[in-house]
Amino acid sequence: MPDRLQGWCLSHCDGQWEHEWGVRIDTLDNPGRTVSVGLRGTPLEGRAHLRREIDRSDGDRVEAWSARGAFHAACGPRNLTEALTLFRTWAEECAGGTA
């Protein structure tokens, strides 16, 4: 999965996008992770990812949505791969399976 995200990011690097937008993964204090993928200047700009919440338990959860020019996800400490997969699946669906 990381290779596919890296490939998607690399395909949008133009000397500007990666400095202003890019991908950010951070730590939540509850515990968990946040993911933000910049969409401006990509074919996903303006596309809506309706909020999706998967809540299995306190530590087994993922939520994903798009807002303010980015894809966002918040997830449990062991759900980072699932959050990245939600982004990649959405990106591929928007591109007709070719992202």
Flag whether 83 is in a domain. Answer: yes
Flag whether 14 is in a domain. Answer: yes
Flag whether 99 is in a domain. Answer: no
- pLDDT reading at 99 higher than 70: no
Number of domains in the chain: 1
**Range of the structural domain that residue 43 is part of:** 2-94
For the CA atoms of 8, 14, 20, 26, what is the dihedral angle to 10 degrees? Answer: 30
Which DSSP string do the residues of the chain spell out, in sequence order?
A: -HHHHHHHHHHH-SSSHHHHS-EEEEEETTTEEEEEEE-TTSTTTT-----EEEEEETTEEEEEEEETTEEEEEE-TT-HHHHHHHHHHHHHHHTTS--
- Tens-place pLDDT, residues 25-52: 999 988 999 999 999 988 999 999 999 9
pLDDT of res. 20 = 77
Q: Which of 12-21, 59-68, 84-93 has the lowest mean pLDDT?
A: 12-21
